[in-house]
């Protein structure tokens, strides 16, 4: 009997680590709170299962076959628990305060830095590794980097990017993925200045006098709301006699509302498409200082 108990004890001692290893080797059940991560995984088939995702917009539900977690900024924890993920991927700035609640059922929570191009690709590489498609994802991020390198401007173009929401316009600095993309492509971001009220990470409120003193050749609008209404409001500010009239006069390459499908959030592997739009808008002078969708 003593020998039998000893043998059972040895078996138990080896069984625990083997079970843990088996659990680690199980295909990941992935929930994503960043649409671009879901897109990248969908383009990289592997042993994982994408079980839940957030909406791209309020009126665009998640695709069939995955649990709809709703708004990226306030995902449904009840629906997340129903999906039984083993890996939850979110944004460090947005979801950091929610990290403990996201770890449903002991799920691993990975929070990505999405405010720069390098960090975006590094985050995708990490998610690929954890999902069991590390080599394939790394190949995609390398190809995306190479594509961006081919799109760089021949000479710097002064640009101002404003983030528009009902009632306010904020200046986009280099401390955002859009600002970093502009720098990568060779733009000169005239709005990346010291001071101002940084109401959101990388988005700064500047006084009318400081904005009017800027001299961009190109003005770009990221609309958080109705692009047409925000474009009209911006055009009024930039018009002759408006508070930013001198800025509007300097914008010889025009004022353009960016495509929300590419610029409302970090597009991940679609960054070359966003870069192509930016470079295209920088290419030809455009007359009227009005934001055109």
User: Could you tell me the residue ranges of all domains in the chain?
Assistant: 27-149, 158-292
The two three-digit tokens of residue 166, written as one number: 């009902």
The whole-angstrom separation of Cα 171 and Cα 230 is 14
- Cβ atoms of residues 78 and 51 within 8 Å: no
Domains 27-149 and 158-292 share a fold: yes
| 164 Cβ contact list (under 8 Å, min separation 6) | 170, 221, 222, 223, 224, 225, 230, 233, 234
Query: Tokens in use for 10?
Result: 């040895």
Q: What is the pLDDT of residue 25?
A: 61
Q: What is the pLDDT of residue 225?
A: 79
Q: Which helix H or strand E contains 30, and what residues bound it? A: strand 29-32
Residue 185, SS3 per DSSP: helix
Q: Report the CATH architecture of 158-292.
A: 3-Layer(aba) Sandwich (3.40)
Task: List the beta bridge partners of residue 60.
Answer: 57
Q: 132 near 28, Cβ under 8 Å?
A: yes
Helix axes 117-130, 134-150, angle to 10 degrees: 160
How many residues does the structure list for the chain? 293
The pair phi, psi for residue 93, each rounded to 5°, is -75, -40
Q: Output the pLDDT for position 110.
A: 98
Decide: helix, strand or coil at residue 11.
helix
From 207, 184, 56, select the one nearest 121 (Cα to Cα). 184
CATH number at 27-149: 3.40.50.1980
154 burial class (0-12, 13-18, 19+ CB within 10 angstroms)?
exposed
- 3-class DSSP assignment, residue 137: helix
Whole-number Cα distances in Å, 124 to 111, 188, 204, 266:
11, 27, 28, 12
- Specify whether the CB–CB gap between 137 and 127 falls below 8 A: yes
Question: Rounded to an integer, what distance in angstroms lies between the CA atom of residue 51 and that of residue 241?
Answer: 54
User: What pLDDT does 24 receive?
Assistant: 54
Joined together, the tokens standing for residue 103 give: 């770890």
pLDDT lower than 70: segments of the chain:
1-25, 284-293
**Beta carbons within 8 Å of 37's beta carbon, 6+ residues apart:** 89, 112, 123, 124, 127, 268
Contact 52, 67 (CB under 8 A): yes
Specify whether the CB–CB gap between 108 and 87 falls below 8 A. yes
Do the Cβ atoms of 60 and 3 come closer than 8 Å? no
Q: In this structure, are strands 255-257 and 108-112 parallel, antiparallel, or unpaired?
A: unpaired
Kindly report, residue by residue over 37-74, the tens digit of the pLDDT: 999 999 999 999 999 999 987 777 777 789 999 999 99
């Amino acid at each position: 009997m003593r020998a039998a108990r000893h043998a059972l004890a040895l078996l138990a001692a080896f069984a625990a680590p083997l079970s843990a290893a088996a659990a680690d080797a199980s295909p990941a059940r992935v929930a994503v709170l960043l649409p671009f991560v879901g897109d990248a995984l969908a383009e990289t088939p592997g042993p994982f299962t994408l079980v839940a995702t957030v909406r791209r917009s309020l009126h665009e539900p998640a695709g069939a076959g995955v649990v709809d977690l709703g708004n990226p900024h306030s995902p449904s924890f009840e629906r997340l628990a129903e999906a039984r993920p083993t890996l939850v991927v979110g944004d460090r700035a947005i979801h950091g305060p929610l990290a403990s609640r996201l770890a449903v059922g002991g799920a691993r929570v990975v929070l990505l830095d999405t405010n720069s191009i390098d960090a975006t690709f590094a985050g995708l590489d990490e998610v690929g590794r954890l999902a069991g498609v590390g080599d394939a994802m790394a190949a995609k991020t390398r190809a995306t980097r190479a594509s961006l390198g081919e799109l760089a401007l021949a000479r710097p173009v002064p640009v101002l990017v404003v983030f528009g929401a009902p009632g306010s316009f904020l200046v986009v600095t280099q401390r955002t993925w859009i600002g970093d993309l502009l720098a990568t492509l060779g733009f000169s971001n005239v709005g990346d200045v010291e001071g101002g009220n940084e109401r959101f990470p990388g988005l700064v409120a500047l006084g009318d006098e400081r904005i009017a003193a800027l001299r961009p050749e190109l003005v770009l609008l990221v609309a958080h709301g109705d692009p047409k209404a925000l474009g009209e409001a911006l055009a009024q500010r930039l018009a002759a006699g408006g508070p930013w009239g001198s800025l509007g006069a300097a914008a010889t390459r025009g004022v353009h509302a960016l495509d929300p499908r590419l610029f409302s959030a970090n597009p991940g592997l679609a960054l070359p498409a966003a870069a192509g739009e930016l470079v295209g808008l920088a290419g030809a002078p455009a007359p009227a200082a009005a934001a055109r969708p």
